[in-house]
Each structure stands twice: as structure tokens, then as C-alpha cells.
Amino acid sequence: MSDTITMTYEVPADDFTRAGEASSNVKSKLKKMGVDPDIIRKVSIAMYEGEINMVIHACGGTIDVIISPEEIEMILKDQGPGIENIELAMQAGYSTAPDNIRTLGFGAGMGLPNMKKYSDEMNIESVLGVGTTVTMKVKMFE
Amino acid sequence: MKVNDLIHAGSFKVVNEGDNSQREISVPYCCDLLSIAMGKMPEDSAWVTVMGNINTLAVAALADASCIILAENSKLDEAALNKAREQGITVLETELPIFDAALMVYKQLNA
């Protein structure tokens, strides 16, 4: 018997009214499971940033969240345009978000840096014109 | 100081009284860029901002803000107001600029 739980979320394209629903849902599930609040905060922030990125840049996608006793793994998969230069995209302050996104308060170029900061492991695989998969892990214990 | 104390101090207009009125406020925090707020906001902050869209609510909930204070007479749009009600997030508003609003919270925290 496996003691991992897997949840899958669809992230809608261009729908800012629903962006954050997946992260909120994971947050409340982890709360109910009695996970440490600091761990929950890390997962919430990392996942929300990923979710918003998918809405802004990638026409939506899917997120798998796998919870095990050791860690929480988030796999964010999209069929968007891909990231041309990952190193540049990882730099704080670098953003390709359009102006209409900036008026909503996004586009500060902090999405990927926040995801890295709040996860214990992060891996990005991206192919131009095919899509991007970001995998993040947050450990249950330091 | 609890969220409830700030609500009843009368310094700010109450837009939505959430279900977290017994929560302690740690510090006032000012920022309008959501990703910076998301990454840097201390837990239980009274978050002062001019951004009143639905994403402000999501960030407040996910980053564990104790309440949102809309400065400069900013308003929640309808979707955001519904979200605040649905999620039980306390939202206050004021005509004051961001700094003055945060200073007011700071003074009350340290009174």
C-alpha cells in the first residue's frame, strides 16, 4: 500500500479570476493533514507563483501534487512557448510579462526566483515551441 | 493587537470583516507588486496596498496576511469583494496614502 497522495489540477489559460485556486486547495488540504505551517507557506508561495506563470505565459496547463511523508512534490506542466533562456528568466527582476499583466500587480520578475527560494529543489525543463515542465520539492522536515 | 482591535479602532473603513478577527497582527507591510509581496511579506502582516483585484486576495490568503488595507481610496473590484467574503479575509480601506496608513497601524501596534 502506498502512503503517497496525488492530486491533479487543471490551470485555465488567461483566467486570473481562477488563478490561485489550485494553490489554495493544496494549502487547505495540507492544513487539514496537520502539516507544519512553515512548510505549508513554502508550498503555497512556490505553487502560486508557478500557477500564475502558467496563466500569464503558457496558456494554462496541469499541476500534479504528490504528497508523501518525506516531501511534497509539485510537477507543473504546460504546452506553452517554452523559456528561451532559463538562466536569464531566473534572474530577479527579469520579466517578459506584457503591460496588461503589470497593471494587475504582476510582472516584477520575481516568479521563478520566488519558486526557487521557497522550494528545496527545483528543476526546469523547457523546449521552445513545445512547453515547460517545472518540478519543485519541499521537504517535510528540515 | 488583534485584527478585531484594528477593525474597532475606527481608523479604517471596514469593507469586509473576515472570519479571522482574533488573529494577531505582526507588522504593517507595504507593497503593490504581488510577487514581491508574496515572497517577502511576513506572516500575519497587515498588508497595505493600492491593488484591489482578485489576485491581491489570493496573495493575502497564500502568504498568510492577517488583513488587507486598501490605501489611497482604492477599491476592491466586484470579483475581489466576492472572494474576500467567500474566503473570510478582512479588508479595510482608507483615503490615506500607503505610508500614513501603515504608520497608523504601526502606532496602534506599539501604543
- Render pLDDT for A36-76 as a digit per residue (tens, 0 to 9): 999 999 999 999 999 999 999 999 999 999 999 999 999 99
Q: Domain residue spans in chain A?
A: 5-139
Please enumerate in sequence order all residues whose Cβ is within 8 A of that of A20, keeping only pairs 6 or more positions apart, or say none. A48, A51, A52, B55, B58, B59, B61, B62
- What rounded mean pLDDT belongs to chain A? 93
How far is residue B83 CA from its own chain's centroid?
14
Give the CATH architecture of domain A5-139.
2-Layer Sandwich (3.30)
Q: Domain residue spans in chain B?
A: 3-109
Q: What is the pLDDT of residues B55-95, one digit of tens each?
A: 999 999 999 999 999 999 999 999 999 999 999 999 999 99
Nearest-angstrom CA–CA distance, B28 and B22 = 17
Alpha-carbon distance B31 to nearest alpha carbon in chain A (angstroms):
10
Interface test with B, best of A26, A52, A101 (most B CBs within 10 A): A52
Which chain A residues are closer than 8 Å to B41 by Cβ? Answer: none
Q: Is the dihedral of CA A71, A28, B28, B38 positive or negative?
A: positive
| Superfamily grouping for domain B3-109 | HprK N-terminal domain-like (3.40.1390.20)
Nearest-angstrom CA–CA distance, A65 and A50 = 12
Average pLDDT over residues A110-132: 96
Provide the angle, in degrees to the nearest 10, between the axes of the packed helices A37-57 and B54-62: 150
- A82 lies within 8 A of chain B by CB: no
Asked whether A96 and A88 are in contact (CB, 8 A), the reply is no
Which chain B residues are closer than 8 Å to A106 by Cβ? Answer: 33-35, 55
Asked whether B46 and B24 are in contact (CB, 8 A), the reply is no
- B88 lies within 8 A of chain A by CB: no
Nearest-angstrom CA–CA distance, B98 and B85 = 24
